[in-house]
Amino acid sequence: MNYIFYFLITISIIAGAVNGKLPDVVNSILTGAELSVKVAFSLIGIMAFWLGMMKIAKQSGLVEIIAKLIKPVTKHLFNEIPENSPAIGDIAMSFSANALGLANAATPIGIKAMDELQKQNIDKKSASNAMCMFLAMSTAGFQLIPATVLSVLIGIGYKNPTEIIAPTLLVTTIAFLSAICIAKIFQKYWIPQKDYRFSQNTVNNEDFTEDV
């Protein structure tokens, strides 16, 4: 990504010099840098508020309640992993945080869920179906409240930032459902080496043998 931005900046400076617009390019760079600082500072308050609300929701048990409500859905989508796997709860909590537009709060939960899925993965060098499904869902980023985008729009002084809620909900819903469908389609062409439950039983038996 750094190379891409460096390439764009270089091309802009060269194009501005060739067309005699170099002062305008320099002014745009300085103006954009100033605006980025203002937006960054404006994000501090909004993100602190939403992360604080997320913390309160977690401490009050609201996040766990939401996770329990959508847990049957996650169990159906990730039917290859055991029902008592801690990854199920982590996936549900990550989905809840993403739905509230709190990507920063969802990131550590998602990493924890992916780590649990990797522990149950037989082929450590390849992603399992469950890992691919979770990655597709996280990348699609279904959002009920796009808190981060709202913060940016408020920071740049947009008059009606809430008007993006409905379009964002529509777009992220389509992307989210499309990601799930595509992942399910590709799963039909991927045959895992072993079943998760079989691998879990095998690990338990090996541990038992070692103890004996």
CA 48 to chain centre: 19
The pTM of the full predicted model, rounded to 2 decimals, is: 0.58
Locus of tokens 């501005």:
16
Q: Are 101 and 145 in contact (CB under 8 A)?
A: yes
Residue 51 pLDDT: 66
Lowest mean pLDDT among 1-15, 27-41, 74-88, 190-204: 190-204
Query: Which is higher by pLDDT, 185 or 157?
Result: 185
3-state secondary structure of 161: helix
How far apart, in whole angstroms, are the C-alpha atoms of residue 13 and residue 32? 15
Amino acid at 14: I
Question: What band does 210 get if pLDDT is binned at 50, 70 and 90?
Answer: very low
What are the extents of the domains in the chain?
Answer: 46-211
Question: What band does 29 get if pLDDT is binned at 50, 70 and 90?
Answer: confident
Query: Which is higher by pLDDT, 81 or 43?
Result: 81
CA 36 to chain centre: 23
Question: What band does 207 get if pLDDT is binned at 50, 70 and 90?
Answer: very low
3-state secondary structure of 157: coil
Residue 134 has pLDDT above 50, yes or no: yes
